[in-house]
Amino acid sequence: SLLSLHRILSFCYLSSPFPTPLTEQFKSVNDYIKKVKKVDDIIRECGMMLDGLDALLTYPLVGEMVAEGMDSEVLQATQQQGDLFETSAMFSGLLGSSLLILKPNPLVLALEKYSCFRTLPNFPDVRTSDAESCFALLQQGLHRCQKLVTTALLKVLRSPKRSSAVGWMAAVVSLNEGRTGPRFKRGEGVAGACSDGYMVNFCAVILELCKPFFTGSPSGPKLSLISPDYPSSPFSRLDLHGEPCFAQTIISAEERLKTGPARFSPDGSPFKFVCECFYVAQRALHVGLIPALNSFTTILSDLSKEIAAEVPDRNEKLLKELNALYLLTGTCCLLDPQLVQEASQFYITQSVWIIHILEKCSQEGGTREAVEERQRKVMSGLPEFCVRDMTVWFRVVVLMRPILLQGLQVCRSPGT
């Protein structure tokens, strides 16, 4: 009964240190999901378990329980490496489920995981309608896993331990920044960091949390809550020290050189959740989605060139099948309509916000030189990647799936 569940969870929370039974339940579901050979079987084989976790997440004390698990994971990850979030954390299986191929080779064609694509009519010359139907089925399972993580995060964000959720998100981003450095190699990734698949799913979850302050959201304009001072603030949860900015400057935040877990949960932060979530999402896309997208387009281009080249005695059929499989899996995960819509809305909102803060400088009055100096000062604190990533994103989407951009609001709402 509900009363019995109440008593059990209360006892677990009050008497048990981490790991609590709830976090262990998450890990059990993760382990089960990892054993599912095909993504299209997630709903069929794991649906009841996912529904059970959903039911547990309706209990009031669950937010505090999940928060304890998050705090422990951040501590462990700072002592080890960022890939801990994918290998042994609460949401490892839920966010690790993906179809993205790290490096295309003939062996992947034989994997049962990709049989849903290989069995499509006329493969590798698959019709768009057949591919879209397959995508929809696969994305249903991926979205179900993402939604459960979003629900868990919202539960923590609505509890007294909100800071644990924001700190956990910032830790996932910051401890995987090796994905943007020189050690990150296309088709190989980087040791100690989460995979493209995990990070893309993570980005999808963060974007879902950002939806209430997207431009045009019915919840009303909240852009004024986003401060341009956050990146260089000692209260920032992100490791942005030394990041190149506009006006040929870099972010100076030496406090971020500390390596302990405390940097992800600073005391007395004056910034609102909207502000922190905005910057965490901005950085998450830079660390997660954009590197995955760059790898996808580059490897796809290399495969196309290899097909076009006239090489004697090669297996033409095998090469075309590998190219088709890589294109289908990448399109399914990286150009998922829901992800495209939300990432695009985020970048549009970011653009509106930048215009908003520049106009605010103008409204303060003074000479033209004084206004330009204020604008230059504001822009000198914003990381360059926020605009660079936006151009990469829209260039790829416009080239590969422009229809997904139809209906997006690209102008500012009144009052923003």
How much is the pLDDT for 11? 47
Domain residues of the chain, as ranges? Answer: 98-405
Return the SS3 of 309.
coil
Three-state DSSP string of 58-93: CCCCHHHHHHHHHHHHHHHHHHCCCCHHHHCCCCHH
Q: Are 254 and 274 in contact (CB under 8 A)?
A: no
Return the SS3 of 27.
helix
Please state the pTM of the whole predicted model: 0.90
Q: Which residues contact 131 (CB under 8 A, 6 or more apart)?
A: 120, 328, 331
CA atoms 9, 26, 141, 339: torsion sign: positive
How much is the pLDDT for 416? 45
Q: Please report, for residues 11, 122, 308, the alpha-carbon distance to residue 126 in angstroms, rounded to integers and kept in the order given.
A: 55, 6, 19
Tell me the helix, strand and coil percentages in the chain, rounded to 5.
Answer: 70, 0, 30
Helix (DSSP H) and strand (DSSP E) numbers for the chain? 16, 0
Residue-wise pLDDT tens digits, 131-171:
999 999 999 999 999 999 999 999 999 999 999 999 999 99
Give the residue, 17 or 376, on which the prediction is more confident.
376
Mean per-residue pLDDT, 89-97:
92
Q: Which residues contact 408 (CB under 8 A, 6 or more apart)?
A: 341, 344, 345, 348
How much is the pLDDT for 17? 47
Looking up tokens 């299986």, which residue turns up? 93
Using CA atoms, how far apart are residues 177 and 240, in angstroms rounded to an integer?
10
Kindly report the average pLDDT of the chain as a whole number.
86
Structure tokens at 364: 């303060």
Confidence class for position 256, pLDDT limits 50, 70, 90 = low
H runs (alpha helix) in 109-225: 115-118, 128-157, 162-174, 196-210
Q: Please report, for residues 216, 251, 341, 354, the alpha-carbon distance to residue 412 in angstroms, rounded to integers and kept in the order given.
A: 8, 29, 17, 12
Structure tokens at 181: 């450095």
Confidence class for position 21, pLDDT limits 50, 70, 90 = low
| DSSP state letter for 288 | I
